Amino acid sequence: MQDLTNDVVVHIKKNNIEYLQFRRLLEYPELVHCYTLSTNNFDIAGNDTMENRKEIVLNNYRKLADVLCIDYNHIIRPYQTHTDMVMKVSEIPNEIQIFPKEYWDVDGLITDKPNVTLSLGYADCTPLFLYDPVKKIIGDIHSGWKGTLTKIGKKAVLKMVEEYNSNPSDIICCIGPTIRKCHFEVDTDVQELFYNEFSYLNNIDDIITKKDSKYYIDTVLINKIILEEAGLKEENIIDSNICTVCNSNFMHSYRVNKELAGRNTAIIGLR
Protein backbone atom coordinates (compact mmCIF):
# COMPACT_ATOMS: atom_id res chain seq x y z
CA MET A 1 0.00 0.00 0.00
CA GLN A 2 1.22 3.50 -0.82
CA ASP A 3 2.75 5.40 2.05
CA LEU A 4 2.83 9.20 2.33
CA THR A 5 5.96 9.25 4.49
CA ASN A 6 8.56 11.75 3.30
CA ASP A 7 11.42 13.78 4.76
CA VAL A 8 8.97 15.94 6.71
CA VAL A 9 6.06 13.68 7.74
CA VAL A 10 5.53 10.09 8.78
CA HIS A 11 2.48 8.04 7.80
CA ILE A 12 1.18 6.12 10.82
CA LYS A 13 -1.19 3.13 10.73
CA LYS A 14 -2.48 2.11 14.15
CA ASN A 15 -5.65 0.31 15.23
CA ASN A 16 -7.17 0.74 11.75
CA ILE A 17 -6.67 4.51 11.89
CA GLU A 18 -4.21 6.28 9.58
CA TYR A 19 -2.74 9.70 10.13
CA LEU A 20 0.27 11.87 9.44
CA GLN A 21 2.67 13.38 11.96
CA PHE A 22 5.45 15.92 11.47
CA ARG A 23 8.96 14.77 12.30
CA ARG A 24 9.78 18.23 13.71
CA LEU A 25 6.86 18.22 16.15
CA LEU A 26 7.66 14.66 17.24
CA GLU A 27 10.87 16.10 18.73
CA TYR A 28 8.74 17.54 21.56
CA PRO A 29 7.41 14.85 23.93
CA GLU A 30 5.00 17.32 25.51
CA LEU A 31 3.14 17.65 22.20
CA VAL A 32 0.49 15.45 20.62
CA HIS A 33 -0.60 16.07 17.05
CA CYS A 34 -1.85 14.43 13.87
CA TYR A 35 -3.60 14.96 10.54
CA THR A 36 -6.10 12.17 9.90
CA LEU A 37 -6.55 10.46 6.56
CA SER A 38 -9.75 9.23 4.95
CA THR A 39 -8.71 5.58 4.74
CA ASN A 40 -10.34 2.85 6.86
CA ASN A 41 -13.54 4.91 6.98
CA PHE A 42 -12.19 7.17 9.70
CA ASP A 43 -14.27 10.13 8.64
CA ILE A 44 -14.66 13.33 10.61
CA ALA A 45 -17.73 14.64 8.87
CA GLY A 46 -18.14 18.09 7.42
CA ASN A 47 -19.86 20.91 9.33
CA ASP A 48 -23.04 20.58 7.29
CA THR A 49 -23.51 16.94 8.28
CA MET A 50 -22.69 17.17 11.99
CA GLU A 51 -26.26 16.90 13.28
CA ASN A 52 -26.96 13.86 11.11
CA ARG A 53 -23.68 12.16 11.96
CA LYS A 54 -23.11 13.28 15.53
CA GLU A 55 -22.71 9.83 17.06
CA ILE A 56 -20.42 8.68 14.23
CA VAL A 57 -18.24 11.76 14.64
CA LEU A 58 -18.06 11.39 18.43
CA ASN A 59 -17.19 7.71 18.11
CA ASN A 60 -14.41 8.58 15.67
CA TYR A 61 -13.02 11.08 18.15
CA ARG A 62 -13.08 8.39 20.86
CA LYS A 63 -11.06 6.06 18.62
CA LEU A 64 -8.58 8.80 17.78
CA ALA A 65 -8.23 9.83 21.43
CA ASP A 66 -7.42 6.22 22.36
CA VAL A 67 -4.77 5.95 19.64
CA LEU A 68 -3.15 9.26 20.62
CA CYS A 69 -3.48 8.62 24.37
CA ILE A 70 -5.34 11.85 25.03
CA ASP A 71 -8.44 12.63 27.08
CA TYR A 72 -11.48 12.48 24.82
CA ASN A 73 -13.34 14.92 27.08
CA HIS A 74 -10.78 17.66 26.59
CA ILE A 75 -11.16 18.03 22.80
CA ILE A 76 -12.43 21.35 21.36
CA ARG A 77 -13.56 21.80 17.77
CA PRO A 78 -14.92 25.17 16.64
CA TYR A 79 -17.54 25.78 13.98
CA GLN A 80 -15.47 27.02 11.05
CA THR A 81 -16.86 29.45 8.48
CA HIS A 82 -13.70 30.66 6.68
CA THR A 83 -13.23 33.68 8.94
CA ASP A 84 -9.99 35.22 10.21
CA MET A 85 -11.11 34.81 13.82
CA VAL A 86 -8.56 33.25 16.18
CA MET A 87 -9.63 32.58 19.76
CA LYS A 88 -7.74 31.82 22.95
CA VAL A 89 -8.82 28.73 24.91
CA SER A 90 -8.56 29.64 28.59
CA GLU A 91 -10.30 26.74 30.30
CA ILE A 92 -10.06 22.96 30.12
CA PRO A 93 -13.47 21.55 29.07
CA ASN A 94 -15.20 18.94 31.20
CA GLU A 95 -16.56 17.17 28.14
CA ILE A 96 -15.80 17.14 24.42
CA GLN A 97 -16.81 20.41 22.74
CA ILE A 98 -17.96 20.03 19.11
CA PHE A 99 -19.19 23.33 17.65
CA PRO A 100 -19.80 25.03 21.04
CA LYS A 101 -21.54 28.42 20.77
CA GLU A 102 -18.57 30.33 22.19
CA TYR A 103 -16.42 29.03 19.32
CA TRP A 104 -18.86 29.74 16.48
CA ASP A 105 -17.40 31.37 13.33
CA VAL A 106 -13.90 30.62 14.60
CA ASP A 107 -11.14 29.29 12.32
CA GLY A 108 -8.21 29.25 14.68
CA LEU A 109 -7.53 28.30 18.29
CA ILE A 110 -4.51 28.95 20.52
CA THR A 111 -3.85 27.89 24.10
CA ASP A 112 -1.23 27.36 26.78
CA LYS A 113 -3.38 24.88 28.69
CA PRO A 114 -2.05 21.33 29.06
CA ASN A 115 -4.53 18.51 28.53
CA VAL A 116 -6.52 20.56 26.01
CA THR A 117 -6.65 19.23 22.45
CA LEU A 118 -7.44 21.62 19.62
CA SER A 119 -9.15 20.09 16.57
CA LEU A 120 -10.19 21.60 13.24
CA GLY A 121 -11.58 20.07 10.05
CA TYR A 122 -10.08 20.33 6.56
CA ALA A 123 -10.88 19.30 3.00
CA ASP A 124 -8.30 21.12 0.78
CA CYS A 125 -7.83 24.14 3.08
CA THR A 126 -4.43 24.70 4.66
CA PRO A 127 -3.77 23.42 8.19
CA LEU A 128 -1.23 25.44 10.18
CA PHE A 129 0.14 23.66 13.26
CA LEU A 130 1.76 26.31 15.47
CA TYR A 131 4.04 25.66 18.44
CA ASP A 132 6.11 27.94 20.64
CA PRO A 133 8.42 25.50 22.49
CA VAL A 134 9.76 28.26 24.75
CA LYS A 135 6.44 29.52 26.14
CA LYS A 136 4.64 26.18 25.47
CA ILE A 137 1.88 27.70 23.32
CA ILE A 138 0.02 25.77 20.60
CA GLY A 139 -2.21 26.83 17.73
CA ASP A 140 -4.45 25.07 15.23
CA ILE A 141 -5.29 27.34 12.29
CA HIS A 142 -7.62 26.75 9.32
CA SER A 143 -6.38 28.85 6.40
CA GLY A 144 -8.61 28.30 3.38
CA TRP A 145 -8.26 30.65 0.45
CA LYS A 146 -10.39 33.22 2.26
CA GLY A 147 -8.32 32.83 5.42
CA THR A 148 -5.11 33.14 3.42
CA LEU A 149 -6.47 36.28 1.76
CA THR A 150 -7.14 37.82 5.18
CA LYS A 151 -3.80 36.57 6.61
CA ILE A 152 -5.21 34.42 9.40
CA GLY A 153 -1.82 32.74 9.89
CA LYS A 154 -0.16 36.08 10.61
CA LYS A 155 -3.04 37.10 12.87
CA ALA A 156 -2.67 33.87 14.84
CA VAL A 157 1.02 34.56 15.45
CA LEU A 158 0.27 38.13 16.53
CA LYS A 159 -2.37 36.82 18.93
CA MET A 160 0.18 34.42 20.43
CA VAL A 161 2.41 37.45 20.97
CA GLU A 162 -0.43 39.51 22.45
CA GLU A 163 -1.90 36.83 24.72
CA TYR A 164 1.22 34.94 25.78
CA ASN A 165 4.16 37.20 24.94
CA SER A 166 5.52 34.68 22.44
CA ASN A 167 8.58 35.62 20.43
CA PRO A 168 7.72 34.92 16.75
CA SER A 169 11.28 33.79 16.11
CA ASP A 170 10.66 30.88 18.51
CA ILE A 171 7.43 29.74 16.84
CA ILE A 172 7.36 26.66 14.62
CA CYS A 173 4.71 26.29 11.92
CA CYS A 174 4.05 22.99 10.18
CA ILE A 175 1.91 23.27 7.04
CA GLY A 176 -0.29 20.24 6.55
CA PRO A 177 -1.68 18.68 3.38
CA THR A 178 -3.61 21.18 1.29
CA ILE A 179 -4.64 21.92 -2.25
CA ARG A 180 -1.52 23.02 -4.13
CA LYS A 181 -0.99 25.40 -6.99
CA CYS A 182 -1.21 22.46 -9.40
CA HIS A 183 -4.93 22.18 -8.64
CA PHE A 184 -5.98 25.52 -7.12
CA GLU A 185 -7.56 26.76 -10.32
CA VAL A 186 -9.67 29.94 -10.05
CA ASP A 187 -11.48 32.44 -12.22
CA THR A 188 -10.76 36.14 -12.58
CA ASP A 189 -12.84 37.18 -9.55
CA VAL A 190 -10.66 35.25 -7.07
CA GLN A 191 -7.46 36.06 -8.98
CA GLU A 192 -8.18 39.78 -8.66
CA LEU A 193 -8.75 39.49 -4.92
CA PHE A 194 -5.37 37.85 -4.43
CA TYR A 195 -3.55 40.13 -6.83
CA ASN A 196 -4.94 43.26 -5.19
CA GLU A 197 -4.05 42.02 -1.71
CA PHE A 198 -0.55 40.74 -2.51
CA SER A 199 0.55 42.93 -5.41
CA TYR A 200 3.28 44.34 -3.14
CA LEU A 201 5.15 41.01 -3.30
CA ASN A 202 8.06 40.97 -5.73
CA ASN A 203 7.21 37.42 -6.83
CA ILE A 204 3.46 37.93 -7.28
CA ASP A 205 3.67 36.89 -10.95
CA ASP A 206 5.16 33.56 -9.88
CA ILE A 207 2.56 33.09 -7.14
CA ILE A 208 -0.32 33.72 -9.55
CA THR A 209 0.04 32.31 -13.05
CA LYS A 210 -2.35 31.97 -15.96
CA LYS A 211 -2.99 29.02 -18.24
CA ASP A 212 -5.59 29.36 -20.96
CA SER A 213 -8.48 31.24 -19.30
CA LYS A 214 -7.78 30.03 -15.74
CA TYR A 215 -5.47 31.23 -12.98
CA TYR A 216 -3.45 29.11 -10.56
CA ILE A 217 -2.51 30.45 -7.13
CA ASP A 218 0.20 29.19 -4.77
CA THR A 219 -1.53 29.74 -1.42
CA VAL A 220 1.12 27.68 0.38
CA LEU A 221 3.83 30.12 -0.67
CA ILE A 222 1.61 33.02 0.36
CA ASN A 223 1.19 31.47 3.80
CA LYS A 224 4.95 31.06 4.14
CA ILE A 225 5.45 34.72 3.26
CA ILE A 226 2.68 35.79 5.67
CA LEU A 227 4.32 33.82 8.49
CA GLU A 228 7.72 35.34 7.77
CA GLU A 229 6.09 38.78 7.80
CA ALA A 230 4.88 37.91 11.30
CA GLY A 231 8.46 37.16 12.37
CA LEU A 232 8.86 33.41 11.94
CA LYS A 233 12.24 32.14 10.80
CA GLU A 234 12.30 30.48 7.39
CA GLU A 235 13.79 27.33 8.87
CA ASN A 236 10.90 27.09 11.35
CA ILE A 237 8.28 26.87 8.60
CA ILE A 238 7.97 23.22 7.61
CA ASP A 239 5.84 22.25 4.63
CA SER A 240 4.41 18.74 4.28
CA ASN A 241 4.64 19.08 0.47
CA ILE A 242 1.47 17.00 0.12
CA CYS A 243 -1.43 17.98 -2.16
CA THR A 244 -4.89 16.88 -1.02
CA VAL A 245 -6.18 16.72 -4.60
CA CYS A 246 -3.24 14.69 -5.90
CA ASN A 247 -3.72 12.33 -2.95
CA SER A 248 -7.52 12.26 -2.78
CA ASN A 249 -7.36 8.48 -2.42
CA PHE A 250 -5.86 9.13 1.03
CA MET A 251 -7.63 12.28 2.18
CA HIS A 252 -10.83 14.20 1.76
CA SER A 253 -10.82 16.83 -0.97
CA TYR A 254 -13.66 19.25 -1.61
CA ARG A 255 -12.27 19.99 -5.06
CA VAL A 256 -12.63 16.29 -5.92
CA ASN A 257 -15.75 15.24 -4.00
CA LYS A 258 -17.64 18.56 -3.73
CA GLU A 259 -20.46 18.50 -1.15
CA LEU A 260 -19.89 14.78 -0.52
CA ALA A 261 -16.42 15.46 0.87
CA GLY A 262 -15.81 14.53 4.47
CA ARG A 263 -13.23 16.28 6.62
CA ASN A 264 -9.74 15.37 7.65
CA THR A 265 -8.95 16.60 11.14
CA ALA A 266 -5.83 18.36 12.37
CA ILE A 267 -5.23 17.88 16.07
CA ILE A 268 -2.66 19.45 18.37
CA GLY A 269 -2.46 19.41 22.15
CA LEU A 270 -0.13 19.78 25.12
CA ARG A 271 0.27 16.85 27.49
- Quick: pLDDT tens for 122-137: 999 999 999 999 999 9
Is residue 2 pLDDT above 80, yes or no? Answer: no
- Quick: pLDDT tens for 46-79: 554 556 667 778 888 999 999 999 999 999 999 9
- pLDDT of amino acid 49: 53
- pLDDT of amino acid 55: 79
% of the chain with per-residue pLDDT over 70: 94
- Quick: pLDDT tens for 153-183: 999 999 999 999 999 999 999 999 999 999 9
Is residue 112 pLDDT above 90, yes or no? Answer: yes
Is residue 147 pLDDT above 90, yes or no? Answer: yes
User: For 19-23, 81-85, 95-99, 242-246, which range has the lowest pLDDT when averaged over its residues?
Assistant: 95-99
Mean pLDDT calculated for residue range 195-205: 97
Is residue 43 pLDDT above 80, yes or no? Answer: no
- pLDDT of amino acid 189: 97
- pLDDT of amino acid 176: 98
Q: What is the DSSP string of 13-50?
A: EETTEEEEEETTGGG-TTEEEEEE-SGGG--B--GGGT
To the nearest whole number, what is the mean pLDDT of the chain? 93
Q: Which residue has the higher pLDDT, 98 or 133?
A: 133
pTM: 0.95
Q: What is the rounded CA–CA span in Å between residue 66 and residue 90?
A: 24
Domain 9-179+219-270 annotated CATH 3.40.50.1980: no
- Phi first, then psi: give them for residue 256, nearest 5 degrees: -85, -50
- Quick: pLDDT tens for 206-249: 999 999 999 999 999 999 999 999 999 999 999 999 999 999 99
- pLDDT of amino acid 193: 98
Q: In the chain, which residues fall in CATH 3.60.140.10?
A: 9-179+219-270
For β-strands 264-270 and 117-122, DSSP reports them as antiparallel
Q: What is the dihedral of CA 258, 146, 139, 80, to 10 degrees?
A: -50
- pLDDT of amino acid 257: 84
